[in-house]
Amino acid sequence: MVLNEMDNGGPEQEDNRLLEPDVIAKGNILESFTESKETQELIHSLRLAHENLTLREAVLEKFKVIMDKYQEQPHLLDSHLEWMLKLLLDIIRDEASPPSLIHLAFQFLYIISKVRGYKTFLRLFPHEVVDMQPVLDMLVCQNPKDCMTWETRYMLLLWLSVTCLIPFDLARLDGNISSIEGGSRASTMDRILTVAKSYLIVSDKSRDAAAVLVSRFITRPDVKQKRMADFLDWTLSTLSKSSFQTMEGALVMDGMLQALAQLFKHGKREDCLPYASTVLECLDKCKLSESNQTLLRKLGVKLVQRLGLTFLKPKVAKWRYQRGFRSLAANLQISGDGPITQKTDNTGAVKEEEEEEEEYDIPGEVENVVEQLLIGLKDKDTIVRWSAAKGIGRLTGRLPKELADDVVGSVLECFSFQETDSAWHGGCLALAELGRRGLLLPSRLSGVVPVILKGLTYDEKRGACSVGSNVRDSACYVSWAFARAYDPMELRPFVQQIASALVIAAIFDRDINCRRAASAAFQENVGRQGTFPHGIDILTAADYFAVRNRANCFLNISVYIAGFPEYTQPMIDHLVQMKINHWDGVIRELSAQALHNLTTQAPEYMTNEVLPKLLSLAVGTDLHTRHGAILACAEITHALSQIAEENKRSISSYLDEKILEGLKQIHLELYRRQLYRGLGGELMRRAVCTLIEKLSLSKMPFKEDPIIGGWQWLINDSLQSLHLVSSNARQQTKESAVYALAALYDEYYCIGEEGANPAQQDQLVKQYISGLQSHEEMVRCGFSLALGALPKFLLKGKFHEVLEGLKTVTSISPETLSFAQSRSDGLKAISKVCQTIGVKGDGSPNEYVCKNNVAQIYNILLDGLNDYTTDSRGDVGAWVREAAMTSLMEVLLLVTQTEPELIDTDVSKQIMCCVAQQSAEKIDRFRAHAGSIFLTLLYFSNPPVPHIPHREELEKIFPRSEALTFNWNAASQAFPKITQLLGLASYRYHVLTGLTVSVGGLTESTVRHSSQSLFDYLKNIQNDMDAMNNFCETLLQVFEDNLLNDRISVPLLKMLDQILANGCFDIFVTEENHPFPMKLLKLCKEESRRSKNVQKLRSSIAVFCGLVQFPGDMRKQVLFQLFLLLCHPFPVIRTTTASQVYEMLITYSDIAEPDVIEEFMTILSDTNWDTDLTLLRKQRNYLCDLMKVPKPLLVTKNK
């Protein structure tokens, strides 16, 4: 269903799992053609631009951009078309205009016609007698094979199609056609026909314009007498000789079919009728329905319907249904008895038709035409079906009542479940056309409405997806058309069914376009019919824009609409019958949650009707049905328990013994049939874990029931076999099992105030801790989170044991280096356990977080911030760092709120500095996470976190007003703030370490903004020697601490290169042998020695070249290092060194005498540094002599 409304909102804000594939088009509502002045200037500039290819393309592209804005509102151009056309035609008609300028003008004309439509635009073209010959001459001069000028030919053909309509015999234009030589020249009629024929077989768009020309030219009174028969003979002959199996044949057939379709559309019936049978016969022989060319099949259907209309007399069927008032305003003014009057009038019209209808014979060919159109309704392509549907509507309007009714019956045969979705879609389009034209009499509604209701929920699974969204969309179109076509009294018996079906489609359909189509159809019915219950209220909640978010429809809008009793039960029934067995798992989950929300509207119906049905489906044979039914049972039961709790009643008062037994039997039956294993086992495990969670939260009376042991076995087995679950389902399975475990233990394992059974507690904790030693990463993940989810009574006396087990999971060993996910989950579990057991300063380490173990907890979490493990997946250590930051924040805030004295100065400083370092690093998402935590700790006020270093300065850098809105993801916003922390002594080392990775990274935007922020900071402290010395000392310390650590050292070398190149250390250039550059040189030599890392060596070369700017003895040391690298074993390093040294000498030309520099550079540029090392060493040694630097000596390796 085509809807014109524009969505000015943002994209669907849904969870990633709920995102829909549909692309939502957005547009702007324009008020007028605002670029008229700019367009005028563009057209005037054509005379200057046409000679220059660049200017020509720029002008053309600019005009396209302007015009394309009006594609959806082309009528805004109407008042400007005339002057645009005049300016362009002046250029075309000017004899001084070169061909390139004329073609450019025609390109402009084509763009205008494309946007406004050629039918409207052509009316403005000059079409006097004097225009015909110049246009024809210009067209004859064109080269049909020139692919660069097709726009010119297209527009000339269209222009000629207008000028050939002049009301004079064309023979009068020819005068005396005998030439001086005694021969004869072709008449104007023959010239036009020859041109038209030649362009009907070309491969470009001119073919379409030629078809328009033919239809208007052949139907002229003088031409049809002399040339129509010959032209049709030529067309049919060409058609019969062509084959759609070849590309050339398909193009020729396309042109012929277009010409015939246009000819039978514009020609008079009496002129075309004698040829119609012959054309139809030829068309049958072509067997276009077997072609795989969509356009040919569409043109075939289009021509067939035109032939059918030619066979039938052009008259309006008097038997058709006439509603009377078509205006909405008139409908609203009708009095209460208005519809009855209309109905009476319509009945009278039918009787009058029966008396006055002329009886005439229907040609036999009409049956063939109808049959082909019915076949077209089932075509695989939408445009063919749409053309066939329009043909059915037009043809039926000219048939007698009985035959028309037969056609309607044939259309209804498309709605068999043996038919494909294409047939259903075509049938819906045809019904909409028939209804819209008043050809579907009210007596047929009782048979049509049930079909439409089925169409609104049509969904057939095909492989891993489904078909049917187009059927549902077209069924909405039928409902929309019926609202406009029928009197409210006619549709009154079906109002409840249609209203419920449209509401259900608007909120529960999977596809956004179907939901919006249903909403629009519902809106049309509310306005036109006025009989839909609670129509205005529902429209307010479920309008075109509100239904764009699927989760919102299922979980929120549905609850509001279900508050109207007419819709409650149909909505619940639809979810149970159509949605919990849906092929898409997300829809099944949403449907179960929707049933939870709807339970409050009909608790008795859910208990007595829905739950018994779901319990039988939950142990059925179909996997998807079983999954959806189990989830629905879980959600409905949980909702009923909440209702019972609100009414202070037991859940047993809502659920009888049979239902309780049925809920227990789900697990037992699935276990007995081994449905937890094999195909679908993952789904069943997740579903039953959800069931266990919801039943436990519902406080089902199952204490000490054997089923508890079965449920615990399922949870433990799911955690134990996580590594066997498919990778895309692991996270969901793990979460489902952990949620179920927490709810189950909390409800069924607590024995009064005493807590857990000691033996049971020991067994559980020991089992879960032993699972942490597994060689499978996912098993470790599962049992880590399981320990984190244990209730307090099961952790009592076991905290130290659990902490030690989780500490083992979070530590890195050679065997577990790649187990980043398990380390992440282990850190999350430590935080959860700490929050569960609470803090008590002088408590026992086995019972609480206390002064004896709090330091150990901090150290475990802080160690997680140093996890920079990388593998084929990338920086997997980032998951660990993210979990460590979150856990540190949660534990620190927990301790702050209960025992703040357990937080000493060192701990607070270490946490804030480490988080600040993470907020300066290169990955946007993790930088944003760290920044958010940093500001949360800074501004936490209940009570404030103690001992945060430089709190006042931090609050100035990060004002409280910006804390919530600050965008850490944006490098342009984050780094200018972060670099200010370099001025704070406590943060300088960690922030510089983080900045090093960003400045020396690979992401262009991160490198640009981080380096610029660092340079700005350094420029600001140029005159503060203390600040510069502090920065340099910290820089050297970072370098020294990370020597041979490529993660830091390589980016650090890149950063040093940029700092040196930007002159940030110019303050040290005035002093010879300053200790800072000397130490820097020493560290660079140490870092690059014996390295085989090409990236590191290249960065080292750049740093050495930058260090040459510092005077004194170190300059010779730097040159010595560069000369060493000139004879490096790797050719790429030798060439890089030579290139960098050459650039260095240009930049720092004062390091030697000018003549020495010139000779040095000549040797560097003339030497091929890829050749043999023996030759290169001689050249290198000569360069050493030139620069008075000691020659490197070749060291022989000892065997």
CA distance 1168 to 1175: 10
Q: Report the amino acid identity of residue 668.
A: L
Q: Work out the average pLDDT over 490-494.
A: 91
Position 342 scores a pLDDT of 42
CA distance 813 to 825: 17
CA distance 132 to 165: 10
CA distance 997 to 870: 15
Q: Report the amino acid identity of residue 48.
A: L
Do 887 and 831 touch, CB atoms closer than 8 A? yes
Position 995 scores a pLDDT of 95
Confidence of residue 10 (pLDDT cuts 50, 70, 90): very low
For CA atoms 889, 892, 895, 896, the dihedral sign is negative
Confidence of residue 28 (pLDDT cuts 50, 70, 90): low
Position 12 scores a pLDDT of 39
Instruction: Answer whether residue 752 shows pLDDT above 90.
Output: no
Confidence of residue 11 (pLDDT cuts 50, 70, 90): very low
Q: Work out the average pLDDT over 814-821.
A: 90
Do 945 and 899 touch, CB atoms closer than 8 A? no
Position 26 scores a pLDDT of 45
CA distance 627 to 578: 13
Q: Report the amino acid identity of residue 704.
A: E
pLDDT tens string 785-810: 999 999 999 998 899 999 999 999 99
Position 168 scores a pLDDT of 79
pLDDT tens string 312-327: 988 888 888 886 555 5
For residue 400, give Cα distances in angstroms to 316, 365, 395, 396, 1025: 10, 16, 11, 8, 102
Instruction: Answer whether residue 694 shows pLDDT above 80.
Output: yes
Position 19 scores a pLDDT of 40
Confidence of residue 330 (pLDDT cuts 50, 70, 90): low
Instruction: Answer whether residue 465 shows pLDDT above 90.
Output: no
For 674: left if phi > 0, alpha if psi spans -120 to 50, otherwise beta; the answer is left
CA distance 198 to 207: 9
pLDDT tens string 1049-1100: 999 999 999 999 888 888 888 877 788 889 999 999 999 988 899 999 999 9
Do 7 and 26 touch, CB atoms closer than 8 A? yes
Whole-model pTM?
A: 0.82
Position 742 scores a pLDDT of 93
Position 1113 scores a pLDDT of 83
Position 392 scores a pLDDT of 95
Do 875 and 868 touch, CB atoms closer than 8 A? yes
The SS3 of residue 676 is: coil
Instruction: Answer whether residue 347 shows pLDDT above 80.
Output: no
Confidence of residue 5 (pLDDT cuts 50, 70, 90): very low
pLDDT tens string 171-188: 777 765 544 444 457 788
Task: Kindly state the tokens that stand for 256.
Answer: 């012929």
Do 170 and 223 touch, CB atoms closer than 8 A? yes
Position 738 scores a pLDDT of 95
Task: Kindly state the tokens that stand for 560.
Answer: 């509001």
Q: Work out the average pLDDT over 240-251.
A: 89
Do 210 and 200 touch, CB atoms closer than 8 A? yes
For residue 108, give Cα distances in angstroms to 85, 119, 733, 796, 913: 9, 17, 61, 82, 63
Q: Work out the average pLDDT over 86-111.
A: 92
Do 919 and 968 touch, CB atoms closer than 8 A? yes
Position 176 scores a pLDDT of 56
Q: Burial level of 1005, CB count in 10 A (0-12/13-18/19+)? A: exposed
Question: What phi and psi values does residue 95 have, to the nearest 5 degrees?
Answer: -65, -20
Do 1182 and 1127 touch, CB atoms closer than 8 A? no
For residue 97, give Cα distances in angstroms to 63, 133, 154: 20, 19, 19
Question: Mean pLDDT across the chain, nearest whole number?
Answer: 88
Quick one: which of 986, 1009, 987 has its CA closest to 922? 1009
The rounded percent of the chain whose pLDDT value lies above 90 is 61
For CA atoms 1142, 1143, 1146, 1150, the dihedral sign is negative
Residue 145 has what DSSP assignment? T
pLDDT tens string 1052-1063: 999 999 999 888
CA distance 165 to 217: 7
Q: Work out the average pLDDT over 911-938.
A: 94
Residues whose CB falls within 8 Å of the CB of residue 1089, separated by 6 or more in sequence, listed in order: none
Q: What angle do CA 198, 199, 203 make, to 5 degrees?
A: 120
CA distance 822 to 802: 15
CA distance 375 to 386: 12
pLDDT tens string 374-401: 999 999 999 999 999 999 999 999 999 8
Position 14 scores a pLDDT of 39
pLDDT tens string 137-150: 898 888 888 888 89
Task: Kindly state the tokens that stand for 1123.
Answer: 């000369």
Position 1197 scores a pLDDT of 57
CA distance 158 to 923: 58
For residue 423, give Cα distances in angstroms to 417, 418, 501, 763, 1164: 10, 10, 21, 63, 78
Quick one: which of 742, 743, 877, 889 has its CA closest to 822? 877
Quick one: which of 1063, 1061, 994, 1074 has its CA closest to 1029? 1074
pLDDT tens string 1114-1123: 888 889 989 8
> To which residue do tokens 């990775």 refer?
997
For residue 949, give Cα distances in angstroms to 563, 905, 992: 56, 8, 17
CA distance 989 to 1035: 8
Instruction: Answer whether residue 1030 shows pLDDT above 70.
Output: yes
**Cβ count near 669 (within 10 Å):** 13
**Helix 1094-1107 with 1131-1147: angle, nearest 10 deg:** 20
Q: Are strands 460-462 and 465-467 parallel, antiparallel or unpaired?
A: antiparallel
Question: What phi and psi values does residue 841 have, to the nearest 5 degrees?
Answer: -50, -50
**Cβ count near 155 (within 10 Å):** 28
> To which residue do tokens 């002159």 refer?
1063
